[in-house]
Structures are given as structure tokens and as C-alpha cells.
Amino acid sequence: MKQGIITKVSGPLVVARDIAGARMADVVRVGNIGLIGEIIEIREQDASIQVYEETGGVGPGEPVTTTNEPLSVELGPGLLTSIYDGIQRPLDVIWTLVGDYITRGIETNALNREKKWAFVPTVKNGDMVTGGDIIGFVQETELIKHQIMVPHRLKGDGKIVEIYLGEFTVIEPIAKILTKDGIEDITMMQKWPVRKMRPYKEKLVPNMPLITGQRVIDTFFPIGKGGTACAPGPFGAGKTVIQHQLAKWADAEIIIFIGCGERGNEMADVLLEFPELIDPKSGKPLMDRTILIANTSNMPVTAREASIYTGVTIAEYFRDMGYSVALMADSTSRWAEALREMSGRLEEMPGEEGYPAYLASRIAEFYERAGRIVCCGSNGREGMLSVIGAVSPPGGDLNDPVVQSTLKVVKVFWSLEDWLAYERHFPAINWLTSYSLYHEKIEKYMSSEITPDWTEIRQNAMNLLQREGELNEIVRLVGMDAISNEDRLTLETSRSIREDFLHQNAFDAIDSYTSFAKQYQMMRIILDYHKIASDTLKKGIRIDDVLNLPCRQEIIRMRNIPEDQLSGFELIRERMIEQLKGLLDH
């Protein structure tokens, strides 16, 4: 095949002339050392290529050859527990080959071609199947059965001619299917272009919450399974801590964490911490159901752009098996910066703040790949993919184009504030400016599975917090002594909601995760105290006597009640009622 010739090198942008068979989005090998790149623009005989590796030392006149394939990921057994870079090169394998630094132009398979997996068929000879049908499984880890599906390229129905039981590598045939085009071998591995959404039959409305164990999220600003959320905030507001907490505790079956342009020490924390974490449901290592994609800030900038698509394509693959998948992208601002850099090198017309004009459509395209769907195939199984993106606007400015474009497409907004973080309030989510559009969609689930009065309790608590915001303005003007006892009680109750409920310690073994049952009991205790104390004040009892009861200390410490000892809340409630009634008796 005729090779193209490099005519220009500008950082990660390489321009080559006369590449035979050049097509948009095809992967090419650049230079004498074979750097990996992708064609992003074609003008007559010239093709512009974004290179996913450092281009130092590459010059004009060196060859460029095309693979005639788009940037794709390998999907099959072996994905779980892996850590990849932005273009799905396994970093642990590269480390064993070349040491601590990635050698430019290195080629490795994303999936191990030598390892044999025990395949168990779930269909038999003569069965009719179609694209997306499950034909067997591999017990990939103790937690996850890796369902082997008929590739989507199979159009129409096919007939199982042969299917095997035993141990196979990912590239060995496990079945033969008779299609209208002849007999086709099926392997456990399939490839899929990262920029192409995997198909599904139907998209459904998310109707149950993604339980995260974070009280401010689950109670006030929940995300539905199959939903979208963003967490914008300035430096130091705790975006990465939130993402780590969600990755640890979200009740999705598969976790995919993308470190997109983040600091290397943060990804190192993930790598060191995750293998030691225990899955709260099964007691097995959390890493058994996790995939990490690392593209740190010192890695080539263009690979950030690819890392987002690599992660979401792998997530869609597990979603198609019928699993609930949660994808965390930290942070999409670094991804947008990569788009801006490449757009500038391509000399495209800049949009707002130098970002390309297509920024909003690219962000929407990414988040639209989330959803609760009916999978392809004949059994109508459901899969869910929830996407949560952190956004790092310069100086915490929420008018940043990346934030505004993201808010147009996501349905949950967790507003992280640095002043809350400086006050040591974590998660630093502002309860007055954040919102969730999933309340109505999950209300039926909450009423039937948690408690019928969940919506009422949540709304009463939010009303108190909003009233606190109003009262604080009055207190600043006229002082605490000028407001009524009822308003003072409102301020104290709201402070209890903030400090005893919303504040959560990510490093405390008990407080790091809170079930819905415990969240309900905690909130109910605070609101019951407010109601009974309000009635007590109306009967002439001094406000200081109400606020200084011993039960107040028990309410402060109630977060330390273990999940298997929730009966302790009833004891607190009984003592609280007894002490408040005791004031009337005196």
C-alpha cells in the first residue's frame, strides 16, 4: 500500500499528503517509530492527524500508513480489574514490558490473547439467535458473569450450528452461526468503534435512584439509574473526592472511572486504594467489578479526547449485558481543553473562550450515551448506564462554556463550593443552588421501597434550609436577639440538618456510606425534634432550655450508629420525646 508523507508537524497535529485510502476517523501509524494517530480532517490530498503520543523527533518526509480501521476498543473477558490509558493500552502490561515510562509507538493488545476462559453456553445447537443475544457466559471475576453476546454486525436471525463448552482464548471460536451470508465463527472478543454509539431497542425513563450512600445526594439531589449528572466546582472543592466516593459506593454492578487529564497522584490514590476496598454488598474486592482508564495531565493531550469515548464504549458493552453501569469522568474540562488545543492547531474558527464551535454538540453527544435501555436481542433485558462528569471551570466560574453546555444536557447539578470545603464541610455541595430533575421519576420507587412519606420529609427539610437562608440575611442586619424563638429554633434545626446530616466523613468507616433506611431515620429524628420543640415553645418554655437538652448531643452523634443497629434511632427518639415533655412538667 502506498504510504503518505509527513509535510507538517505542530505538536500533536501532523499533516500528511497522499495517504492511500485515507478516511475520516481512521487510525494511522505516524513516522518511522509508528506513533498512533487518528485522521480528523481531510483537505484534498492532505490529511490532518491527531497523534496520541509525543511527536518529538518526528519530521517532514517520514511515512504515514493507515490501518483502514477507526479507533476501536476490544470488548471481551479480561476488561474487569484492568487499568488502561486513553486508547485502551493496558498500563500494567506496558509496565512489565518497558518499565515506568511508556515507550512511544509501543503496540499491545487490550485483551490477553493467551489466557483461557471457561465458557459455558446458554443456548444449544439449532437455536435461533440475533445480534445482541446472549449465547453463554464466562465467570470473569467472583462478582461478575461476563455475558458473551452475538455481535451486532449479525443482521437478522441466525441459527446456532455448533456451540462449544470448555476453555478458550478470546480469539478462538466458541460457536458457529449460520446466517444468510454463510457460516460465521463467533469469538468471545468483539471490536467496536469508540465514536459510534452501541445500538439498543428502546430508551426508557429512569425510574429508580442510583444509591450512592452520600446523604446530600441520595436525599436531596438524587440521580436516576441511567441518568446524567455533573459536579462543577473550583479547585479544592472536592470534585475528585465526590467521584471517588461514588465509584466506591454507588450500587451499580460495574464501575468505570476515567481520570481525564487529572493529576497523577490522584490516579495513584485510586490505584492504591481501590484494590483494598471491599464491595459492601458481596464482601469481595471492589476492583473485581471496576475498570480504570488513566490519562493523567502529563500524558499526551489528544489521548484525553479519546479516553472519554473509550470509557463510555466499554460502559455501553456491559450495559448491553443487562448490567447497571456507573461511569465517572474526572474531569470533562480537561477533555474540552484538549478539543480547544486541537481546534486551534487546525486553525478552526474559535467559539466562546477559544473553545471550538462544536463543543456543545460534543458534550451532548457524550452524555446522550447514558440511559436506561431495552437491550438488543430477543429476551428484552434492560441495561442502565449512568454518567457522572466533574467539571473544573477556571476560578469556579459557572458561566464557563463547558459548564453551561453540560448543564443543558444533564438532569442533576451538584454545585460544589470552595467556601464550604474551606469550612471543612464535605461533600461541599451547595444545598440551595443544586438541583435534580429525577425526583418525580423516582418518587414511586421511594414511596414503595423506602417509606411512603419520603417526599414529604425531604421537602420539609429543604423548606427549613431555604428558610435558614432568608433568616441569616435578617440576622446579619438586626442581630439574633431581634428574631422570634420560633425562628431561632428554625436556625438551630437547619444547622443540625447541615452539620449532622449533610456533612459526611469520607474517611470514617461508618459515616462514609449511609443506606436509605439510615438516612430516613436520621432526617426523621431531626424533623421530629423540630416539630415537638416547636409545640413546646408555644407553651411558654424558654428557647435555651429546649436547645440545651441532652438529646441534642445524641442527635449530633447519630451518624455513628452502625447500619446493623438502626434500632438505636428509636431509643434516641424516645429519650428526645421524654426530655421535651419533661420541660413541660417542670
How much is the pLDDT for 243?
Answer: 84
Digit-coded pLDDT (tens) for 176-231 = 999 888 899 999 999 999 999 999 999 999 999 999 999 999 999 999 999 999 99
Which residues on adjacent β-strands are paired with residue 121?
136
Element (H, E) at 259: strand 254-260
The band of 286, judged by pLDDT with boundaries at 50, 70 and 90, is confident
Mean pLDDT of all residues in 296-311? 86
Q: Is 496:215 a contact under the CB 8 Å cutoff? A: no
Question: In percent, how much of the chain has pLDDT > 90?
Answer: 66
User: Domains in the chain, please, with CATH?
Assistant: 4-70 (2.40.30.20), 75-97+200-436 (3.40.50.300), 117-188 (2.40.50.100), 454-585 (1.10.1140.10)
How much is the pLDDT for 2?
Answer: 64
**CB neighbours of 207 closer than 8 A, spacing ≥ 6?**
224, 372, 441, 442, 444, 445
pLDDT at 282 over 80: no
Digit-coded pLDDT (tens) for 474-490 = 888 888 888 889 999 99
Render 315-357 in DSSP notation, one character per residue: HHHHHHTT-EEEEEEE-HHHHHHHHHHHHHHTTPPB-GGG-BT
Closest residue by Cα to residue 206 from 375, 365, 327, 384 = 384
How much is the pLDDT for 235?
Answer: 83
How much is the pLDDT for 586?
Answer: 63
Question: In percent, how much of the chain has pLDDT > 70?
Answer: 99
The band of 400, judged by pLDDT with boundaries at 50, 70 and 90, is very high
φ/ψ region of 399 (left if φ > 0, alpha if ψ in -120 to 50, else beta) reads alpha
pLDDT at 360 over 70: yes
Give the three cell numbers for residue 348: 478552526
Digit-coded pLDDT (tens) for 403-428 = 999 999 999 999 999 889 888 898 99
The band of 302, judged by pLDDT with boundaries at 50, 70 and 90, is confident
**CB neighbours of 68 closer than 8 A, spacing ≥ 6?**
21, 23, 26
